Amino acid sequence: MKGYILNRMLALVPTLLIVATIGFMLIHLTPGDPAAVMLGEEATEETVLQLREELGLNRPVLVQWVSWLGKVARGDLGQSFFLHKPVLEAITERLETTLLLTAYGLAIAVVLGVVMGIVAAVKHNTAVDGSLMVVALLGVSMPSFWLGLNLILLFALRWKLFPAAMYVPLADGLWSCLRSLTLPAVTLGFVSAAPIARMVRSSMLQVLNEDYIRTARAKGVHERAVIVFHAFRNALIPTVTMVGMTVGSLIGGAMVIEQVFALPGVGRLVLSSIGRRDYPVIQGILLYFAAIYVVVNLVVDILYVYLDPRVKYM
Amino acid sequence: MATVPAPAKGKIRRSALAGGLRALRRSKMMTLGLGIMSLVCLVALLAPWIATHDPLYLDPMNRLQAPGPDNWLGTDDVGRDVFSRVVYGSRVSLLVGALVVLSSNLIGTLIGLMSGYYDKVDKVVMRVMDGLMAFPTTLLAIAMMAALGARMSNVIIALSIVYIPRVARVVRGVVLTVRELAYVEAAVAIGAPAWKIMLFHILPNCLDPIIVQSSFIFAQSVLSEAALSYLGVGIPPWIPSWGNIMTGGRLFINAAPWMTWFPGLAIIICVLGLNLFGDGLRDLVDPRLRGVL
């Protein structure tokens, strides 16, 4: 087991190296001179040259790349032009909102997706199954920001059950914080629950036809125990894969949802940085969240071994 | 030894068409999806005749009007007709979706074929593809748009880069299986050039998964384009796209919810059609999944 985990962790190194390189390429992908683009059309040639020197853009690309990788390896994502502080500091200041929103959204997506998937599989080919799958299909076809705006209209503006756009930090109390994040998390969770529900249903349907399920029923095991302990446990592997993939879409979705609910998270920092052409911040956020996503996928890979010990021999 | 005459080209085409029609008859969902998509395409094609007003015409005296006989879906904050803007918005979404599918399929298929066929290419190129897939898609698209600038062509480029690795991975998977088959080995043995083997012996096997993947990429592109435009980093605000219309509606969600409802419903209908069609196609290509997913 330790060997498997070590191997998977070592495989992270080249992936992170490639991710960092792509992040580096992004600023060099900008058409024209990145320094001129950052300073805008009114900048003089002198200030552009000065910024080029500050950014090190006058050095050979290979030298810039090696220097960038060295800084990233030390946890230095660069300096924000506009905020005049390290990018990592700017990200961590706003990380609480984004991570809490993503985690809350993930919890809703998993609970909703798993329950919908199991019920649909157990009631296969009935009206319940059909209705749940229509809801799931609507979920994968719906823009999250549209759902968010409608939830604001109903639950915040009309019925006044939740705040429309007010984030309460965790330090001010867990319940107030969760309440302020409920509408955004439900929006994020509902849209992400749909693919999980479809995957749980399909995995359950395949497992429910296996011989050992028939054996468990023949032994007189209670139906609920058959579903939860015999069938769902074995349907968990594809489900865990889907949940791992969902984290990526949740992080991306959180960027959009923060804008809808005016939450002071990393997503809003990205968008304001685009307006200010603060490329180091955009680059830093891209790298930071790609690294989180890669680590989440590592955790999913390790979870496989616990769920299905055959995996480590493959 | 008796020989079986090869069917004429026209006959093959007719039988493929008949097979497609049979599949449509069997799958109600796929028929519904195709019907919805045909309707959306028709609306986009006939937009100048269907739209009741000029989608760009400002009429401040008539702002924030609720849906009624003059403006079927109401007006926005500067008096533009929402129905006409939604009708014209379908052109943007379909154009972006179609071009993203086309470019990501062309480049992704080429990369997948080369990676699957040549081990050395695989070691380098697929690692880059894995690296691209490590980024959350929306975040990567936002960052790409920040680097490229908010223009329709850049939305297509950014979304294509996001989806190329997905196509490449699917094609590579098929190539790895097919290149071990006897008929490919036979082609290699008789000295057929690599490009011919890839194009005529391996590529036809990749078409089914590519077609299935295309409908889902199309659906995701429509949603991503709307999200980018809603965030203000996608289609420029003066072009009526479904995402842009909703950006305008955000501030008037209480006073004029129709500005948000109808473009959103248009997106749902379009993406639903694509997903239904994609699900049907997938069932057709892999009957083991029929009624399961």
pLDDT-above-70 percentage for chain A:
95
Q: Determine the distance in angstroms separating the CA of B252 from the nearest CA of chain A, rounded to an integer.
A: 10
Three-state DSSP state, A234: helix
pLDDT for A11: 81
pLDDT for A42: 78
Q: Is the pLDDT of residue B288 over 60?
A: no
**CB neighbours of residue A70 within 10 Å:** 10
Residue A292 inside a domain? The answer is no
Which tokens go with A198?
């479809």
A138-170 pLDDT tens trace: 999 999 999 999 999 999 999 999 988 889 999
B233-283 pLDDT tens trace: 999 988 999 999 998 888 899 999 999 999 999 999 999 999 999 888 887
Nearest Cα to A105, choosing from A248, A219, A201, A221? Answer: A248
Which tokens go with B94?
């379909």
Residue A211 inside a domain? The answer is yes
Instruction: Give the number of domains in chain A.
Output: 1
Amino acid at B242: W
pLDDT for B55: 93
Residues 50..79 of B with a Cβ closer than 8 Å to A: which? none
Residues A70-76 have a mean pLDDT of 89
* Candidate from A150, A202, A270 with C-beta closest to B292: A202
- 8 Å CB contact between A95 and A266: yes
Domain that holds residue A187: 94-276
Three-state DSSP state, B59: coil
CATH number of the structural domain spanning residue A156: 1.10.3720.10
DSSP-derived letter for residue B233 is S
- Whole-angstrom distance, CA of residue B26 vs CA of residue B291: 12
pLDDT for A37: 72
Q: Is the pLDDT of residue A314 over 70?
A: no
Residues in chain B: 293
Residue A283 inside a domain? The answer is no
Residues A230-243 have a mean pLDDT of 84
Q: Is the pLDDT of residue A284 over 70?
A: yes
- Full-model pTM: 0.89
- 8 Å CB contact between A17 and A69: yes
In angstroms, what CA-CA distances link B152 with B92, B99, B215, B234, B240?
Answer: 9, 11, 21, 7, 12
Residue written as tokens 């004029």?
A: B256
**A55-69, A116-130, B9-23, B77-91: least confidently modelled range:** B9-23
Residues A228-248 have a mean pLDDT of 84
Helix axes B258-285, B82-117, angle to 10 degrees: 30
pLDDT for B7: 53
Nearest Cα to A223, choosing from A79, A74, A85, A122? Answer: A122
pLDDT for A311: 62
Chain-chain contact of B292 with A31 (C-beta, under 8 angstroms): no
pLDDT for B1: 43
- Whole-angstrom distance, CA of residue B203 vs CA of residue B293: 26
Residue A269 inside a domain? The answer is yes
Q: Which residue has the higher pLDDT, B96 or A6?
A: B96
Amino acid at B204: P
- 8 Å CB contact between B84 and B70: no
Residue A17 inside a domain? The answer is no
- Whole-angstrom distance, CA of residue A21 vs CA of residue A6: 24
Q: Which residues contact A144 (CB under 8 A, 6 or more apart)?
A: A187, A188, A191, A253, A256, A257, B227
Q: Is the pLDDT of residue B16 over 90?
A: no
pLDDT band, very low/low/confident/very high, at B2 (cuts 50, 70, 90): very low
Q: Is the pLDDT of residue A70 over 50?
A: yes
Residues A197-204 have a mean pLDDT of 90
Q: Is B176 on the interface with A (CB under 8 A)?
A: no
pLDDT for A147: 96
Residue A263 inside a domain? The answer is yes
A97-115 pLDDT tens trace: 999 999 999 999 999 999 9
pLDDT for A277: 75
Q: Determine the distance in angstroms separating the CA of B133 from the nearest CA of chain A, rounded to an integer.
A: 9
ipTM over 0.95: no
Best B30, B132, B137, B138 residue to mutate vs chain A (most A CBs within 10 Å): B138
pLDDT for B289: 52
Residue A86 inside a domain? The answer is no
Per mean pLDDT, which of A17-31, A285-299, B77-91 is the most reliable?
B77-91
* Candidate from A152, A251, A256 with C-beta closest to B231: A256
- 8 Å CB contact between B85 and B75: no
Q: Which residue has the higher pLDDT, A34 or B65?
A: B65
Q: Which residues contact B254 (CB under 8 A, 6 or more apart)?
A: A153, A157
Q: Which residues contact A196 (CB under 8 A, 6 or more apart)?
A: A109, A110, A112, A113, A114, A117, A239, A242, A243, A246
Mean pLDDT for chain A?
87
pLDDT band, very low/low/confident/very high, at A125 (cuts 50, 70, 90): confident
A203-214 pLDDT tens trace: 898 888 888 889
Residue written as tokens 């909102």?
A: A97
* Candidate from A19, A26, A202 with C-beta closest to B143: A26
A277 dihedral zone (left: phi>0; alpha: psi -120 to 50; beta): left
Residue A183 inside a domain? The answer is yes
Rg (CA), chain B: 23
Chain-chain contact of A253 with B138 (C-beta, under 8 angstroms): yes
pLDDT band, very low/low/confident/very high, at B15 (cuts 50, 70, 90): low
DSSP-derived letter for residue A210 is S
Mean pLDDT for chain B?
88
A285-307 pLDDT tens trace: 989 999 998 888 888 888 877 77
**A58-67, B44-53, B212-221: least confidently modelled range:** A58-67
Residue written as tokens 């950052």?
A: A38
